[in-house]
Amino acid sequence: MAILPIITAPDPLLKVKSKAVDRVDDGLRTLMDDMLETMYLAPGIGLSAIQVAVPKRVVVVDVAREDEPANPLYLVNPELVCVSDNLATYEEGCLSLPDHYADVERPAEIEVAFLDYHGKRQTLQAEGLLATCIQHEMDHLEGLLFVDHISALKRNMILRKLKKAKRLEATA
C-alpha cells in the first residue's frame, strides 16, 4: 500500500465532478486500499478519490473510534436512495481544508446504494456521524466542499486563509 498526497483547497480539481466507475477490479481495490491507509495516517474518517487527484466516484469511510476496531467502508458509485426530513448538525472538517471547521446541517438519516470492495451491489442505512461523513464525502464527488454549505462570509474567510497558507508554503 502507498500513502497518497491529499490535495488542498483552493486546488481547482476539488471542484471537478467525478466520473462513475465501470467496474471494481484489482486496480480500483489498490486505489481504495491506498486511500484508506492515507486517510488513517492523515488522520481522518473519510476520503474521496478526488481528494487524492483521482476523479472517480470512490469513497472510503471509517468512523470507528480509536478504542474500537477499524470498520472501513468502501463505496463505489454511491447514490443516496433516501434521506430523512430530520436534520442534524455536526462540526465538519476536511483533509482538503486542513485546520478549518464549521457546523453543517445535513439529513440525519440516509440510505445509500453502492458497489462494495468486491463490486457487489449493497445498500446501507446510516445515521449520526456515519450519515454525515458519507454525505460529506459524496459532496466531493460532485465538486462540493463542506464550506459550500455555510455562509459566504465564513466560506470566503476560510478560503482566503488557505490561499495565504499555500502562498507562504510556496515561498518557503
Class of domain 12-171: alpha beta
54-83: b or e for each residue (b if 16 or more CB lie within 10 Å)? bebbbbbbbbeeeeeeeebbbbbbbeeeeb
In tens, the pLDDT along 91-148 reads 999 999 999 999 999 999 999 999 999 999 999 999 999 999 999 999 999 999 999 9
Higher pLDDT, 163 or 134: 134
What pLDDT, in 10s, does the model give residues 11-45? Answer: 999 999 999 999 999 999 999 999 999 999 999 99
- Write the CB contacts of 63 (distance below 8 Å, at least 6 apart in sequence): 45, 46, 71, 129, 130, 133
Residue 28's alpha-carbon distances to 47, 58, 115, 136, 166, in angstroms, are 15, 9, 12, 21, 30
This prediction has a pTM of: 0.93
Residues annotated as part of the active site: 137
Residue ranges of the domains in the chain?
12-171
